[in-house]
Chain A
Amino acid sequence: MIAALALVGSVYAAFVPGGAAQGAPAPSSDVSAGKTLFDTSCITCHGANAQGVAGRGPSLIGVGDASVEFQVSTGRMPAAGQSAQEIEKQPVFDETQAQQIGAYIQSLGGGPQLPEGNDLSNGGNIAQGGDLFRVNCSSCHAFGGGGGALSSGKFAPTLANATDRTIYAAMLSGPQNMPVFGDNQISPQEKRDIIAYIQNLKSDPAPGGLSIGRVGPVAEGLVIFLVGIVVLLFAMLWIAGKS
């Protein structure tokens, strides 16, 4: 009975955000550095203490550092302007600064947190990750990770530039129109499997040499058709010119 209680307690402690076992509170120096960055670059839209400004930007209370790190480290935030969807661009802040802002937002209202380290695919089962990718991710990001169109100008971005941390953060926080895949739905180990699969998919050379966007037989057929027709056309011109 006591052992069972201890087990339940430790499992609980492991899952509660901000608990002692995982995600130890960031050093306050990070939080204050993050607050400085926030107050100079984010406060216009997200308001003082990240409470949001109506019509400009949402409240960031409770979004967690996973969301902040995804948006900032991929350059989506600070936003260039209101549009159908924030797009990936040259980041304004580096990795450390993104994590500092994340630590500040985390200190305000908690929320989903990223694990430590840059290598989040280590120990992932690629085959298992492939199964999960096809069930959960491929409908929008396509089987080759090339992304695809959504409604009204929105789109699922390509995974070509995604790092382990951004993929993990995207699953955890569900940025923009991406669904949230919390740890109850896809466990941390399964997230590692998926990341391992995506990174393997990206690093594995395309059979035949050219990937042609990895969007499948339609693109390949189009290239064969256009290139083939043009080559035949020039061959015809050459033959006609010779005789």
Chain B
Amino acid sequence: MSTHSGLHAAEADNEEFDHTDPRLSRFDLVKEGARRDGVQLVYYAPRFPVPGTRREARVVRAVGLLFFLSGLFATAFVVAYIWWPWRYQDGSNLSKLYTPVLGVSLGLSLACLGLGFVAWGKKLLPEEIAVQDRHDGGSPADEKKLTGETMLNMVDELGIKRRPLLAKTALLGMLPLGAVAVAPLIGGLIKNPHKPDILFHTGWDPSLNSGHPIAVCREDGTKIRPEDVSIGGQMTVFPGIFNTDGDFVGASNDFADSPTLLIHLRQDDAQVLRSNLVHVPINEQNTWGNFVAYSKICTHAGCPASLYEQQTNRLLCPCHQSQFNILDNARPIFGPATRRLPMLPLTVADDGFFYAKSDYQVPVGPGFWERP
């Protein structure tokens, strides 16, 4: 039996059903409503035909207990959220259990609520079997025709073909309105990266120190002597920039493009590097003794490429496994990086500390459109 014939049959029967008949019970009305929707109740029986039995009371108590427990666990969640010690404390203590307590209490609360409703539905609601016919696909040909003509009639009524001016002016009026909608979204993306010209300058630019070379510093702002770096050792260094209060800011986010790896090569490795410097002419004057300093910012995606292998003389980037050959001007030898790590022009001044002779000669970090 198709739905349509079923629905039509139900509509035909509507005439015989008197909804004002006082003899009809509420369930009769429910059944009639279901019948009109094409749903037939094949079987229907209450779970507990005799109300108030001991078994029914037991099921009701169990469902009620589940709801009560749900509330109890939810309360426990709120209490733990507010009063459980959450700050980090060393050693074994309650703070280590903060997250599990929140998760377990909320999880149990939701589980009890769900179980309560499932039990209510399965154990207390009447047992029923209802049958509904599957709807057949496709509308009848006459209905398709009528709907199509109705829509075309709408176009006719608007008279777009006869009044082209209206269509054009409506479009013209709505275009700027569309621009209003996208302006705040696209406007936020438009920025000029060259004012100030941050992509070409780092914290090693001597102009930040009124034209004098910038000192090479540790993370606490102390300067570094050549003998501070062990042979076969490396040190992450930052530009020695201090704010007006005298606080060290070279290692702050304002100069996040400036961290540099200062490496002390072994004698024979340094020889190899010196013989390779001709491959990159701008690097030729950049090493000092057996020391070399490369930008720590990977030229692929800007991660800190600072996994230093002191025997194979490679720098690794942990993000995408790019590898750079320290002894050949940090040439990329593996992974997605395509450009060398820039080399910082190193020198040691008369006071015995490392300084950067100038800023990096090429922009540090990942590529960008206008990069030369």
Interface residues of A (CB under 8 A from B): 126, 131, 135-136, 139-140, 148-152, 154, 156, 174, 176-182, 184-185, 200, 204-209
Interface residues of B (CB under 8 A from A): 88, 90-92, 95-100, 219, 227-236, 304, 306-312, 314, 316, 318, 321, 323, 334
Contact B96 A181 (CB under 8 A): no
Contact B227 A184 (CB under 8 A): yes
A-B residue pairs in contact (CB < 8 Å), sample of 14: A126-B90, A131-B219, A140-B307, A150-B309, A174-B310, A179-B232, A181-B230, A184-B230, A185-B228, A185-B229, A204-B91, A207-B88, A208-B99, A208-B100
Q: Contacts A151-B323, A174-B310 given; 9 further ones with Cβ under 8 A?
A: A135-B236, A140-B308, A148-B318, A151-B309, A179-B234, A180-B233, A185-B229, A185-B230, A208-B100
Closest beta carbon of chain B to A61's beta carbon, Å: 15
Contact B233 A179 (CB under 8 A): yes
- Kindly identify which residue among A135, A206, A207 contacts B219, using a CB–CB cutoff of 8 Å: A135
Instruction: Name the residue on A nearest B305 (C-beta).
Output: A139
Contact A151 B91 (CB under 8 A): no
Contact B307 A180 (CB under 8 A): no
B311 partner residues in chain A, CB cutoff 8 A:
176-177
A179 partner residues in chain B, CB cutoff 8 A:
230, 232-234, 308, 310
Q: How far is the CA of A231 from the CA of B321 in the complex (A)?
A: 35
Contacts A207-B96, A208-B99 hold; do A180 and B318 have CB atoms under 8 A apart?
no
Instruction: Name the residue on B nearest A182 (C-beta).
Output: B230
Instruction: Name the residue on A nearest B99 (C-beta).
Output: A208
Q: How far is the CA of A21 from the CA of B344 in the complex (A)?
A: 40
Q: How far is the CA of A151 from the CA of B306 in the complex (A)?
A: 13
Closest beta carbon of chain B to A78's beta carbon, Å: 19
A151 partner residues in chain B, CB cutoff 8 A:
309, 312, 314, 316, 323, 334
Contact B96 A174 (CB under 8 A): no
Contacts A184-B228, A185-B230 hold; do A139 and B318 have CB atoms under 8 A apart?
yes
Closest beta carbon of chain A to B119's beta carbon, Å: 12
Contact B96 A139 (CB under 8 A): no
Instruction: Name the residue on B nearest A204 (C-beta).
Output: B90
Instruction: Name the residue on B nearest A178 (C-beta).
Output: B310
Shortest 9 CB-CB distances between A and B: which pairs? A182-B230, A180-B230, A177-B309, A180-B233, A180-B232, A139-B306, A179-B233, A184-B228, A207-B96
Q: How far is the CA of A17 from the CA of B128 in the complex (A)?
A: 92
Q: How far is the CA of A196 from the CA of B156 in the complex (A)?
A: 85
Contact B230 A174 (CB under 8 A): yes
Contact B96 A209 (CB under 8 A): yes
Q: How far is the CA of A123 from the CA of B234 in the complex (A)?
A: 26
Q: How far is the CA of A86 from the CA of B233 in the complex (A)?
A: 20
Q: How far is the CA of A12 from the CA of B320 in the complex (A)?
A: 46
Contacts A150-B316, A208-B100 hold; do A139 and B310 have CB atoms under 8 A apart?
no
B227 partner residues in chain A, CB cutoff 8 A:
184
